[in-house]
Every structure is written in structure tokens, then in C-alpha cells.
Amino acid sequence: QSALTQPASVSGSPGQSITISCTGTSSDVGNYNYVSWYQQHPGKAPKLMIYDVTNRPSGVPDRFSGSKSGNTASLTISGLQAEDEADYYCSSYTSSSTVVFGGGTKLTVL
């Protein structure tokens, strides 16, 4: 199972919006609405930010939103804040009853 494809890095200024893409195949992202997004600060465990493509867990700011079109899912962060600087990973359930993660995207807040 190949990793989902994410850009290595994205950046934005405080207050701006950014979008991180996550491209898979018809065996994972394209076939299931079970895409999740995780935020990971250096030296910390990942934190769930979005699940089932568009849903936010309790406590996650509504500045974070998710979407999907075909084999590509996206995470959008609006109103960027300094504390959003972190690594972001997508993941998807697969037709092999496994889960696959993306390679990760480093978000820099300028």
C-alpha cells in the first residue's frame, strides 16, 4: 500500500488561508469517506483534527475544515494562527481493511 501524496510544505501569513491536499487512489480516498487529518507539533503525539472527511472533533476550532473530490482530500485552515505551525498528516481507510497515511506536510506560519 503506497502512502497518500501530500505536498512536503506549505506556508501562509497570519490571518490567511491555506489548503493541504492529500491524493490517493480509488482503493482508499476515492472509495471511502473515511479520511482523517492529524496535527503534530515537534516531539508530540499526533492530534485528530478532522475525521470522516469533513467532521471536527469537539474542541477543534472551526477554522479547520475538510473536503474531498474524487481521489483527493483537502484540509483548509482559515485565519492562520502562529500555533497552527505543525506537521499535518492525512489518512484513509483502504479496501484491504488497513489504513494508509500521507507523507506529511510541514505548515509554516510566516
Q: Which is nearer to other proteins, 1 or 78 (CB)?
A: 1
100 binds other proteins per the rule CB under 8 A: yes
Of 57-96, which residues contact other proteins (CB under 8 A)?
57, 89, 91, 93
Q: Quick one: which segment of 9-17, 19-27, 43-51, 71-79 binds other proteins (CB under 8 A)?
A: 43-51
Which cell numbers hold the place of 74? 483537502
31 binds other proteins per the rule CB under 8 A: no
